[in-house]
Chain A
Amino acid sequence: MRDFPDWIRFPVADRVDHAMRWVLNNLGWFFDWVGDVGLGILISVERALLFVPWWVAVIGVGVLAWRVMGSKRSGIAMAVLLFMVGAFGYWTHAMNTLSVVIVAVAFSITLGIPLGILMAWNNTVRNLLTPILDAMQTMPSFVYLIPALMLFGLGRVPATFATVIYAIPPVIRLTNVGIREVPSAVIEASTAFGAGRWNLLFDVQLPLARPSIMVGVNQTTMMALAMVVIGSMIGNRGLGMEVLLAINRVNIGQGFEAGISIVFLAIIIDRVTTAFAKAKKVEASTGEDTETEEIEEEAEEEGSPKASA
């Protein structure tokens, strides 16, 4: 009596399978085409990354980190981390992983920011997307591997596809939040001066939402990196594959090296993009002015009675 009765069953699994099969039969050509184009892009990006001599990359990352983070020490630290990845012997694998991350993030941003804008403009779109985004973020990440596998087979294209799905929610969400949090006083004033919807978007909403959007891009990037490792399960090479191989062979040392390389990449990307977001934030902040200073400032600026007395 305590067990759930056998005769109550809704076989959803069958329907999902069925729908999937229908998609494959009818739209297979489309996914083949997308797969080819995607593979082309991924390979070009990887070639480009590998074309750069390693020492140029190490110094380049160091200088970039130094400029964005504003301290020489952080610059050197980031360069050393990247150097270590090479020293472990994973340079090529790291570039492969990075190419997938770059393509997935670029795709997430081009798709995610417009979606976030739509969500901010329209409450119906928001109410529709919010539960979907919630579901996407609570779903165990490797679930995305299954449709990716079915649509694109094995390799880095399905891995990129799964990565985009897994990593896109933050950039959508934070674009929406950033735009909605623009003070209504600024919107109203701009409207009063004759700003239309696009003026508002490009002159006011996007610039003021930029700090928030940058945080979203940072989160998306970190999630993409995490997912790329899982993507190795469906045949993406790169660092994740090395970790998987090490696990299979119970080779603790190798697993450690590959794992730590991923961590180093993650640290570099996170620090640099966070610093970048922060740098923009300071510029666009709407901080309140300190009232205490007001009278003095006014007095100085006007050369008012105090000065003449």
Chain B
Amino acid sequence: MSNQSESIGGAQAAPPSAADSGIAVRAHGIWKVFGRNPERVLEPKYRDLPKKELQRRTGCVVALRDVNLEVKAGELFVLMGLSGSGKSTMIRTLLRLVEPTSGTLHVDGKDVGAMSHKELLEFRRNLVSMVFQSYGLLPHYTVLENAAYGLRLRGDEKGEREARAIEALKMVGLAGWESYYPTSLSGGMQQRVGLARALAKNPDILLMDEPFSGLDPLIRRQMQDELVDIQEDIGKTIIFVTHDLPEALKLGDRIAIMRDGQVIQVAEPEEILSNPFDEYVRAFTRDASPARVFTASTVMEEPEMLLYRWQGPLTARTEMEHNKREWSFVVDRKRVYLGVATRDVIERLAKEKRTTVEKDDLQYLEPVKPDVIIEDLFGLVSSGSYPLPVTDDQGRLLGVVRPRAILNALSTEEDDA
């Protein structure tokens, strides 16, 4: 961060005093310009041009434009915006993984921009942890070694760091997986290793860049719940990046909305919904009545029972009896949804001495995609006697939507608002 350009960046307000109690992160007049000679973009003749125009004239991309933020200690602060709006760049500047072009940053009262290389390493090792969308685990380390890596860099003794790492793994529900390698874990579990690695350090501040967006909807929801629990337990300051409005509303104490590198509104979730700052925010939240915000993926659940295509009618019948059910969804080996088998159909197939259940035998209930809003699900759910199957683009069964789940989602949201 260069100090000479700071005067340009922070022209309108006095630089903040270093240590305010209760403020965990304070960004002041942050600019980040990618390209050649980025400083010239801050000159008066360029600085007010729109992003596209600037890119055409100078070849530089403005990722952050005069960002001012204050995050309170213990707060779960959400950064939200469309793709390319600068969320990742912003969160990366807090650790100087990206060097801001201008502006000042205080984290825990320390001036991050003024740190020497050595101080910066110390700062990253002790005060702040980050969780990445792409996990960033070390494939040649076990789960335990990964979770303990931050502690190793910090210089903790082996015994102590392993104890802490095991503790953190327990917190994220991965006890017993210590000696596995990350590649043998599912995406959701790998992300939890990333979370454990971050928590093991017991940092004051946790930065999370779209940590859940690579995960299946059900697991994603589960991880969100876990994060809320963890936050309640240990009261960290968390800065959480997402471009998913329901996720932001669910998690955020406050939400900052970014557009084209600028923060255009910072407010509590309700205020964002009830009082959107401008058309852009309104567009984000226009459909924010719960029935329009929540999608099939937010309310879907595991099916109570599943039959696999290659199971014969006799096995199927036994399983149905065992589960006391009159019908079941049927999937193939890849969990691709095939249809609904009722007890009657199974009985008939059993009588015909068939060995497998074929698609033609099944009743086909049209599945829905996970991003269908629940308003559109009303009619579908209430018309049939079965829950709605939810499938992904490959036709795999992700979960089922039951009428009760929809009602629950709507009522809790309305209680809150």
Chain A residues contacting B184 (CB-CB under 8 Å) are: 289
Question: Is B153 within 8 A of A185, CB to CB?
Answer: no
Least CB distance from B227 to A in Å reads 16
Binary contact readout A266-309 vs B (1 if CB under 8 angstroms, 0 otherwise): 00000000000000000111110101111111110110111001
Question: Is A204 within 8 A of B138, CB to CB?
Answer: yes
User: B177's closest neighbor in chain A, by CB?
Assistant: A301
Task: Judge whether B359 is part of the interface by a CB distance below 8 angstroms.
Answer: no
Chain A residues contacting B123 (CB-CB under 8 Å) are: 194
Chain A interface residue count, Cβ-Cβ cutoff 8 angstroms? 38
- Known pairs A292-B396, A302-B173, A309-B304; A194 contacts B125 (CB<8 A): yes
- Known pairs A207-B140, A306-B303; A292 contacts B335 (CB<8 A): yes
Question: Is A295 within 8 A of B335, CB to CB?
Answer: yes
Task: Judge whether A191 is part of the interface by a CB distance below 8 angstroms.
Answer: yes
Q: With contacts defined as CB atoms under 8 Å apart, how many contacts are there between chain A and chain B in the complex?
A: 113
Question: Is B183 within 8 A of A192, CB to CB?
Answer: no
Task: Judge whether B129 is part of the interface by a CB distance below 8 angstroms.
Answer: yes
Chain B residues contacting A193 (CB-CB under 8 Å) are: 124-125, 129-130, 149-150, 153, 197, 201
Question: Is A185 within 8 A of B134, CB to CB?
Answer: yes
A280 to B82, CA, bound (A): 42
Task: Judge whether A186 is part of the interface by a CB distance below 8 angstroms.
Answer: yes
Least CB distance from A183 to B in Å reads 8
Binary contact readout B182-197 vs A (1 if CB under 8 angstroms, 0 otherwise): 0111111110001001
User: A305's closest neighbor in chain B, by CB?
Assistant: B302
Question: Is A186 within 8 A of B136, CB to CB?
Answer: yes
User: B122's closest neighbor in chain A, by CB?
Assistant: A194
Task: Judge whether B306 is part of the interface by a CB distance below 8 angstroms.
Answer: yes
Task: Judge whether A199 is part of the interface by a CB distance below 8 angstroms.
Answer: yes
Chain A residues contacting B150 (CB-CB under 8 Å) are: 193-194
User: B95's closest neighbor in chain A, by CB?
Assistant: A192
Task: Judge whether B218 is part of the interface by a CB distance below 8 angstroms.
Answer: yes
Chain B residues contacting A131 (CB-CB under 8 Å) are: none
Task: Judge whether B139 is part of the interface by a CB distance below 8 angstroms.
Answer: yes
Task: Judge whether A32 is part of the interface by a CB distance below 8 angstroms.
Answer: no
A183 to B184, CA, bound (A): 18
Task: Judge whether A189 is part of the interface by a CB distance below 8 angstroms.
Answer: yes
Chain B residues contacting A305 (CB-CB under 8 Å) are: 301-302, 304
Chain B residues contacting A301 (CB-CB under 8 Å) are: 189
Chain A residues contacting B216 (CB-CB under 8 Å) are: 294-295, 298
User: A297's closest neighbor in chain B, by CB?
Assistant: B186
Task: Judge whether B228 is part of the interface by a CB distance below 8 angstroms.
Answer: no
Q: Is the interface of B mostly helix, strand, loop or mixed?
A: mixed
Residue among B132, B139, B154, B183 facing the most chain A CB atoms (10 A cut-off): B139
A186 to B138, CA, bound (A): 7
Binary contact readout B295-310 vs A (1 if CB under 8 angstroms, 0 otherwise): 0000001111110000
- Known pairs A292-B396, A309-B323; A191 contacts B97 (CB<8 A): yes
Question: Is A306 within 8 A of B188, CB to CB?
Answer: no
A101 to B150, CA, bound (A): 42
Task: Judge whether B135 is part of the interface by a CB distance below 8 angstroms.
Answer: yes
User: A192's closest neighbor in chain B, by CB?
Assistant: B130
Interface residues in B171-228 by Cβ distance below 8 A to A read 173, 183-190, 194, 197, 201, 216, 218-219, 222
Task: Judge whether B56 is part of the interface by a CB distance below 8 angstroms.
Answer: no
Question: Is A304 within 8 A of B302, CB to CB?
Answer: yes
A203 to B146, CA, bound (A): 11
User: A193's closest neighbor in chain B, by CB?
Assistant: B150
Q: Which of A284, A294, A309 contacts B186 (CB 8 A)?
A: A294
Task: Judge whether B45 is part of the interface by a CB distance below 8 angstroms.
Answer: no
Least CB distance from B199 to A in Å reads 12
Chain B residues contacting A195 (CB-CB under 8 Å) are: 153
Question: Is A188 within 8 A of B304, CB to CB?
Answer: no
Question: Is B136 within 8 A of A189, CB to CB?
Answer: yes
Q: Which of B121, B139, B194, B398 contacts A286 (CB 8 A)?
A: B139
Task: Judge whether B334 is part of the interface by a CB distance below 8 angstroms.
Answer: yes
Question: Is A294 within 8 A of B301, CB to CB?
Answer: no
Question: Is A189 within 8 A of B139, CB to CB?
Answer: no
Question: Is B137 within 8 A of A287, CB to CB?
Answer: no
User: A296's closest neighbor in chain B, by CB?
Assistant: B335
Task: Judge whether A92 is part of the interface by a CB distance below 8 angstroms.
Answer: no
Question: Is A190 within 8 A of B139, CB to CB?
Answer: no
Other contacts beyond A207-B138, A285-B139, A295-B219: 10, CB < 8 A: A188-B97, A189-B132, A189-B137, A193-B125, A199-B153, A208-B139, A286-B139, A291-B187, A295-B218, A297-B186
A-B contact pairs, 14 of them (CB 8 A): A186-B136, A188-B136, A192-B124, A192-B130, A194-B126, A194-B154, A204-B138, A289-B187, A292-B334, A294-B187, A294-B216, A294-B219, A295-B216, A305-B304
B interface, CB within 8 angstroms of A:
95, 97, 121-126, 129-130, 132, 134-140, 149-150, 153-154, 173, 183-190, 194, 197, 201, 216, 218-219, 222, 301-306, 323, 334-335, 396, 398
